[in-house]
Structure 1
Amino acid sequence: MSDATKLVAEKRTDFGKGAARKIRRAGNIPAVMYGHGTAPVHISLPGHDTFQALKHTNALLTIVVDGKEQLALAKDVQRDPIKPVIEHVDLVVVRKGEKVTVDVSVHLEGTAAPETVVTLDHNTLQLEALATNIPDSIVVSVEGLEAGTQILAGAVELPEGSTLVTDPEALVVNVTQAISEEALEAELAEAEAEVGVEAPAAEAAAPEGEAASEGESAEPAAETTES
């Protein structure tokens, strides 16, 4: 991915929740841009264009402020938990030729051998890549893989220009033998049988020190003699 989406922003001087709500009501998104030792710049981004641009993970953006362009990546995107609305964006300044560390999603392609189950243990891998050439995804083929096959991060073919940061020994894909319907039914039947044959608990012994049953005479009191 090398093309940066251009967003024309406006500097803002009002801060706080009230100011942010006002910006969102106007159809824009409050944001802050920082990095490379520069002072944070508080800006307002165009709502629709920003929402569309940030549908892509690790989207490279060209932020235009007062006629000056600055490359940036979205470091943190705060979204409304219910509505499809972006509430705030943190942008980190990047430069051409600079390498950045990013999380890139893993996508599987192909079909494993019959009667197998493919598990994706790592949905993303952390890579180091040029800020202007961050891959959209990492494709891993599982075509024809047999049960017992494991693919570690170090064995994954990375996009050109990218370097793996994730532990090379991290398990990415695990191919296991699928359990047959008959075996599953047998396991369920065995579990139900184990529950059904539980013997009722033995009658508990009478508690220690229990009072004598009805009809039994209590131990006579010691006799006293007059002196």
Structure 2
Amino acid sequence: MSEVKISAEPRTEFGKGGARRTRRAGLVPAVLYGHGEKPTHIALPAREFAAAIRKGGANQLFAIEVSDGTQVLALPKAIQRDPIKDSFEHIDLLLVRRGEKVTVDVAVRLTGEAAKDTLIVHDHDTLSVTADATKVPDHLEASVEGLQAGTQVTAADVKLPSGVELVADPTLSVASVTAAPTAEQLEATLPEVEEAGEETAEEAEAGEETAETPAAEGEQAEAKTEA
């Protein structure tokens, strides 16, 4: 994966108030740490960072140039997002060096088509691996081509690029192939749905009768008064 150059500014304001002001300025609060060095608080341009993550994935390598002259390489270690706005709230960045091995979680994509009348369940969509910090793959691939129902694809079945080693348990299930429900099985559920619908209708009719009773009694009471 190629590195993305991105500028950064030293961050001197901390706490929730400082973070909000940073985000309002179009920046994302971040911290650089690793190699036994004291954490460095910086702010990254939100739009540029988001574009890089969309293109390169969560393990995108960044060449960060801080305005004070500092230049470092870093990988995102933890990214906090606003679940409603889908914006970045805070980023933890791990300092790395060229040639250094790092352990990361990489996305797994399923390729191919399983046998007819089957369903595929993606049990785990990431796997933990070690790789050169400058050569972390943006994704891994696992084939389900032609697999029959009852088959599993494990971590050991996933293709690993040269220089990438598996850290996850080799027996970990990445995907499971199950039999798709037959038409008869689907039809077997229909009577239950219909019965539930009939009960609901009966309850509705009973509710209408109950609702009409007070009104009828009221009309009788009015008739007696007039008499």
- TM-score clears 0.5: yes
What is the CA distance between 1:114 and its match in structure 2? 0.8
Q: In the alignment, what sits opposite 1:44?
A: 43
Q: In the alignment, what sits opposite 1:64?
A: 65
What is the CA distance between 1:148 and its match in structure 2? 2.3
**1:1-227 pair list within 5 angstroms:** 1=1, 3-55=2-54, 56-65=57-66, 66-186=68-188, 189=191
Task: Give, in whole Å, the separation in 2 of the partners of 1:98 and 1:73.
Answer: 12
Number of matched pairs? 192
Task: Give, in whole Å, the separation in 2 of the partners of 1:174 and 1:21.
Answer: 44
User: SS at the partner of 1:54?
Assistant: helix
Q: Cα deviation per residue 1:101-131 (whole Å; 9 max; x = unaligned)?
A: 1111111111111111111111111111111
Q: 1:191 to 1:30 in 2, by over 3 A?
A: closer
Q: Cα deviation per residue 1:111-154 (whole Å; 9 max; x = unaligned)?
A: 11111111111111111111101111111121111222222211
Q: Cα deviation per residue 1:161-192 (whole Å; 9 max; x = unaligned)?
A: 11111111111121122221113323665899
Task: Give, in whole Å, the separation in 1 of the partners of 2:111 and 2:81.
Answer: 30
Q: Which runs of 5+ in 1 are unaligned?
A: 194-227
Task: Give, in whole Å, the separation in 1 of the partners of 2:31 and 2:101.
Answer: 21
Q: Which amino acid aligns with 1:72?
A: A
User: SS at the partner of 2:5?
Assistant: strand
What is the CA distance between 1:67 and its match in structure 2? 2.5
Q: What is the Cα-based RMSD across aligned positions, in Å?
A: 1.9
Farther-moved stretch of structure 1 (61-70 vs 129-138): 61-70
Task: Give, in whole Å, the separation in 2 of the partners of 1:117 and 1:18.
Answer: 49
Task: Give, in whole Å, the separation in 2 of the partners of 1:176 and 1:9.
Answer: 49
Give the conservation status (yes or no) of the 8 Å contact 2:8–2:42.
Answer: yes
Q: 1:186 to 1:41 in 2, by over 3 A?
A: same
Task: Give, in whole Å, the separation in 1 of the partners of 2:160 and 2:99.
Answer: 19
Task: Give, in whole Å, the separation in 2 of the partners of 1:8 and 1:57.
Answer: 18
Task: Give, in whole Å, the separation in 2 of the partners of 1:122 and 1:172.
Answer: 5
Larger Rg: 1
Give the conservation status (yes or no) of the 8 Å contact 2:142–2:157.
Answer: no
Larger helix share, 1 or 2: 2
Q: Which amino acid aligns with 2:138?
A: D
Q: 1:15 to 1:119 in 2, by over 3 A?
A: same
Q: Which amino acid aligns with 1:52?
A: A
Give the conservation status (yes or no) of the 8 Å contact 2:10–2:43.
Answer: yes
User: SS at the partner of 2:184?
Assistant: helix
* Superposition TM-score, scaled by structure 1 size: 0.78
Q: Which runs of 5+ in 2 are unaligned?
A: 196-227
Q: Which amino acid aligns with 1:21?
A: R
Q: Which amino acid aligns with 2:69?
A: G
User: SS at the partner of 2:58?
Assistant: coil
Q: In the alignment, what sits opposite 2:220?
A: none
